[in-house]
C-alpha cells in the first residue's frame, strides 16, 4: 500500500515499477541485481556539462580502485568533494551516480572525486570504507594537481555513501587528519543493528527501499553479525560526536531510513556540530538519483551545491 504522503510523481514511479512485476532485488543473484539497478538511470535526466571528466586508477590499502574526477570550468583552486555512491555497499557504481556528480560539480563549482569502492559480497566490511578513506587521503595528497583547495574539502554520499562519509569524518578526527570542512549525508544509513523506528514501520514495505532489502544488503556487507554495532559500520554507535565537521543532512519523508538519519543529525547538533537538516516531503529513497523525474531531486542538488560553495575552511589541517 502506497502512502498518501508520496509526491504525485514519486507515486507514479512506484506504480510503474509495480506494474512491471519485476522480482524484488533481494531475490536476484548479485550480478543480476546490479544490472537491475541500472534501470533507474532512465530517471536521472540529462547529464550536465562540466569542464573535464577523467577516469583514473588509484592505489588503496590492498590494491587499486577507480575514481572519476569531475572538474568545473574556470580557474581553481576549487572546493573539493569526495563522493561515495549509495547502493547498499553491493550495487551501483560510477555510472549510476554520474548525473548527480556532474550536477554537483557544475552547480557548486567544485571538483568532485567519485569513488568506485569495492562492493560486497565480494568485499565485505570494512573494505568499502577503507577504499573510500584511502581515496579521501589520495585527494588531499593530490589536491594541488586536482585544482582543489585542500582546506575546503567535503566528504559526501547517499545512503551507504552517507554512512561512510560521516565515518570517514569521525576517523579523520580521531587520526588528526585529513582536514574535512563539510560532511554531506543524504538519507544516510546510520544503524545496521535495528529497524525499530516509526519510519521503518510506516515505509518498510512498498516504498522502493524495504526492510527486507536492507536486511539483504546488511547480510552481504557484514561478515560478523556483531559488526552491526561497530561504530565504523553503524555511526549511530559513535559515542562522541564532538568536533565533527559541519554537516548537511538530507532525508526523504517516505524512506525507512528517515528517522535514523534525523536522529544522528540531532545527536550531532547536541554535540555542538553545526548541522543543517532538511526533510524532503513526499520523497523516497533514492530520490537524489531521480533528477529527470522530480523537482525534489533538483532542489536537493541545489542545496548540496550551496553548502559546498559556502563551506568555510576546515578548522584544522592534517595529512
pLDDT in tens, 254-291: 999 999 999 999 999 999 999 999 999 999 999 999 99
123 is catalytic: no
Q: Is residue 105 within 8 Å of residue 72, measured between CB atoms?
A: yes
Model confidence at 17: pLDDT above 80? yes
Residues 6+ apart with CB under 8 A from 201: none
Q: What's the pLDDT band for 1 if we cut at 50, 70, 90?
A: confident
Active-site hit among 159, 165, 199, 234: 159
Q: Which long-range contacts (CB under 8 A, 24 or more apart) does 169-173 make?
A: 169/244, 169/245, 170/231, 170/232, 170/235, 170/238, 170/241, 170/244, 171/133, 171/232, 172/136, 172/318, 173/243, 173/244
Active-site hit among 97, 207, 232, 285: 285
Question: Count of CB atoms within 10 A of residue 15's CB?
Answer: 12
For 79, the 3-state DSSP assignment is strand
Q: Read off the pLDDT of residues 163-199 as tens digits, 9 standing for 90 and up.
A: 999 999 999 999 999 999 999 999 999 999 999 999 9
Could you tell me if residue 44 is inside a domain?
Answer: yes
For 281, the 3-state DSSP assignment is coil
Q: From CA 102, how far away is CA 310, in angstroms rounded?
A: 18
Of residues 226, 222, 143, the one with CA closest to residue 177: 143
Peptide bond into 50 cis (omega under 30): no
pLDDT recorded at residue 318: 39
Q: What's the pLDDT band for 315 if we cut at 50, 70, 90?
A: confident
Domain containing residue 71: CATH number: 3.40.50.1820
Could you tell me if residue 156 is inside a domain?
Answer: yes
Domain count, the chain: 1
Q: Read off the pLDDT of residues 53-66 as tens digits, 9 standing for 90 and up.
A: 999 999 998 899 99
pTM of the model: 0.97
| Domain of residue 191, residue span | 8-310
Q: From CA 310, how far away is CA 308, in angstroms rounded?
A: 5
For 137, the 3-state DSSP assignment is helix
Could you tell me if residue 319 is inside a domain?
Answer: no
154 beta partners: 81, 182
Q: Is residue 231 within 8 Å of residue 238, measured between CB atoms?
A: yes
DSSP string, 13-52: HHHHHHHHTPPPGGGS-HHHHHHHHGGGGGGS-SPPP-SE
Number of H helices, E strands in the chain: 10, 8
The three three-digit cell numbers of residue 191, written as one number: 544503524
Could you tell me if residue 256 is inside a domain?
Answer: yes
Could you tell me if residue 21 is inside a domain?
Answer: yes
285 is catalytic: yes
Model confidence at 317: pLDDT above 50? no
55 is catalytic: no
Q: From CA 25, how far away is CA 32, in angstroms rounded?
A: 8
Q: Read off the pLDDT of residues 205-225 as tens digits, 9 standing for 90 and up.
A: 999 999 999 999 999 999 899
Could you tell me if residue 1 is inside a domain?
Answer: no
Could you tell me if residue 318 is inside a domain?
Answer: no
Model confidence at 316: pLDDT above 70? no
Model confidence at 149: pLDDT above 90? yes
Could you tell me if residue 45 is inside a domain?
Answer: yes
Model confidence at 155: pLDDT above 60? yes
Cα–Cα distance list, 32 to 2, 66, 90, 97, 109 (Å): 26, 22, 12, 18, 36
Q: Read off the pLDDT of residues 233-249 as tens digits, 9 standing for 90 and up.
A: 999 999 999 999 999 99
- Per the listing, cell 562492493 goes with 119
Active-site hit among 98, 116, 134, 255: 255
120-135 average pLDDT score: 98
Q: From CA 235, how far away is CA 237, in angstroms rounded?
A: 5
Q: What's the pLDDT band for 9 if we cut at 50, 70, 90?
A: very high
- Per the listing, cell 533538483 goes with 298
Question: Count of CB atoms within 10 A of residue 156's CB?
Answer: 26
pLDDT recorded at residue 158: 98
Of residues 232, 134, 247, the one with CA closest to residue 181: 247
pLDDT recorded at residue 103: 98
Amino acid at each position: 500500500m502506497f502512502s498518501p504522503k508520496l509526491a504525485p510523481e514519486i507515486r507514479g514511479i512506484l506504480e510503474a515499477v509495480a506494474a512491471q512485476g519485476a522480482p524484488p532485488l533481494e531475490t536476484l543473484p548479485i550480478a543480476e541485481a546490479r544490472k537491475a539497478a541500472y534501470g533507474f538511470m532512465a530517471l536521472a535526466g540529462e547529464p550536465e556539462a562540466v569542464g573535464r571528466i577523467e577516469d583514473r586508477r588509484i592505489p588503496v590499502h590492498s590494491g587499486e580502485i577507480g575514481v572519476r574526477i569531475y572538474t568545473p570550468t574556470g580557474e581553481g583552486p576549487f572546493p573539493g568533494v569526495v563522493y561515495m555512491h549509495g547502493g547498499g555497499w553491493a550495487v551501483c557504481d560510477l555510472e549510476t551516480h554520474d548525473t548527480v556528480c556532474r550536477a554537483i560539480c557544475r552547480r557548486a563549482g567544485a571538483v568532485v572525486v567519485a569513488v568506485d569502492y569495492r562492493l560486497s559480497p565480494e568485499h565485505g566490511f570494512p573494505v568499502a570504507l577503507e577504499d573510500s578513506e584511502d581515496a579521501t587521503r589520495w585527494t588531499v595528497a593530490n589536491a594541488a594537481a586536482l585544482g582543489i583547495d585542500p582546506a575546503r574539502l567535503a566528504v559526501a554520499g547517499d545512503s551507504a555513501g552517507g554512512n561512510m562519509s560521516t565515518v570517514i569524518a569521525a576517523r579523520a578526527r580521531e587520526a588528526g587528519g585529513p582536514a574535512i570542512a563539510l560532511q554531506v549525508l543524504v538519507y544516510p544509513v546510520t544503524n545496521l543493528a535495528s529497524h525499530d523506528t516509526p519510519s521503518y514501520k510506516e515505509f518498510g514495505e512498498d516504498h522502493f527501499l524495504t526492510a527486507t532489502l536492507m536486511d539483504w544488503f546488511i547480510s552481504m556487507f557484514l561478515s560478523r553479525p556483531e559488526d552491526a554495532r561497530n561504530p565504523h559500520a553503524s555511526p549511530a554507535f559513535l559515542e562522541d560526536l564532538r568536533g565533527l565537521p559541519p554537516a548537511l543532512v538530507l532525508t526523504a519523508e517516505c524512506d525507512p531510513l528517515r528517522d535514523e538519519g534525523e536522529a544522528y543529525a540531532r545527536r550531532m547538533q547536541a554535540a555542538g556540530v553545526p548541522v543543517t537538516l532538511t526533510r524532503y516531503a513526499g520523497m523516497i529513497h533514492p530520490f537524489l538519483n531521480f533528477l529527470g523525474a522530480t523537482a525534489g531531486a533538483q532542489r536537493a542538488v541545489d542545496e548540496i551545491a550551496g553548502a559546498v560553495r559556502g563551506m568555510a575552511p576546515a578548522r584544522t589541517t592534517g595529512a
